[in-house]
Amino acid sequence: MTDRRPDYPIDPIFHTRWSPRAFVPAPMPESDLLRSIEAARWAPSAFNAQPWRFVYSLRGDSSFEGFLDLLDPFNRAWAQHASAIVFVVSDTMLRYDGEVSPSRSHSFDTGAAWAQFALQASELGYHTHGIGGLDYDRAHQWLRVHEGYRVEMAIAIGTRGTVEELPEPLREREGPSPRRPVSELAFRGGFQ
Ligand SMILES: Cc1cc2nc3c(=O)[nH]c(=O)nc-3n(C[C@H](O)[C@H](O)[C@H](O)COP(=O)(O)O)c2cc1C
């Protein structure tokens, strides 16, 4: 049994979120997905540039198969049951005060937005699973992502299914994972 107890008291939303691969192949209302994107929208970003963009397909959309097809076969095998696939894209350029320059933090900022997306989805009773295993060049082209924007990752979102629905090798990996202790990642006074 994985120890999921936090070292310090926090809101349970943080440590009860986890990424399953078993999803019930059911539709979800677009409004629920947009509520998660709404939460992402309020993330902080350098110069308030808000570099995040979300390109999504809901289960049942004619584009859904095409979205799945951008994922590696391993990820496609389980993500095909999700209720929506969302590609997270970031603007690599900082557009501020009429000036355009390369952004140092577009991925960092967009990561904060994804975290807020995931937590809001949890709050609504959904589960999310980040996916980095995908064909980035093809996704860029197929999703018609504009020049200067970077495909960061995909998200599978849906209602959690039962572990028996997964192929055998994935069953034993299905479950919440542990974390390093705070003492290993927080350094007072200088990096250790
Ligand atoms: C950027 C990113 C890429 C990921 N890529 C994959 C992936 O390709 N396939 C997969 O099964 N899980 C992927 N994950 C899920 C992580 O493995 C998972 O979030 C991590 O093990 C922590 O587990 P938890 O989310 O259940 O707490 C990815 C997560 C992130 C944030």
Condensed to tens digits (0 to 9), the pLDDT of residues 48-84 reads 999 999 999 999 999 999 999 999 999 999 999 999 9
Evaluate: CB of 156 within 6 angstroms of ligand 1. Answer: no
Residue 1: the pLDDT is: 62
Q: Minimal CA–CA distance to 55: which of 137, 153, 122, 138? A: 153
Q: Ligand 1 centre from 90 Cα, in Å?
A: 19
What backbone phi and psi angles, to 5 degrees, belong to 32?
-70, -40
Q: Minimal CA–CA distance to 49: which of 14, 81, 92? A: 92
184 DSSP assignment = G
Q: Minimal CA–CA distance to 68: which of 50, 51, 52, 82? A: 82
Interval 36-56 mean pLDDT? 98
Residue 166 pLDDT level (bands cut at 50, 70, 90)? very high
What backbone phi and psi angles, to 5 degrees, belong to 50?
50, 60
What's the domain range around 126? 20-161
Please tell me the residue having the least CA distance from ligand 1 atom 13: 131
Chain mean position to CA 31 = 17
134 DSSP assignment = B
Evaluate: CB of 136 within 6 angstroms of ligand 1. Answer: no
What is the percent of the chain where pLDDT is above 70? 99
CB 49, CB 96: distance < 8 Å = yes
Interval 165-170 mean pLDDT? 90
Q: How far is the C-alpha of 21 from the C-alpha of 130, rounded, in Å?
A: 10
CB 163, CB 174: distance < 8 Å = yes
Compute CA distances 15 → 11, 54, 77, whole Å.
8, 25, 27
Residue 41: the pLDDT is: 98
- Domain contains 172: no
What backbone phi and psi angles, to 5 degrees, belong to 130?
-70, 145
- Domain contains 127: yes
Count of domains for the chain: 1
What is the reported pTM?
Answer: 0.97
Residue 2: the pLDDT is: 79
* pLDDT of 4 strictly over 90: no
- Domain contains 188: no
Domain CATH code at residue 99: 3.40.109.10
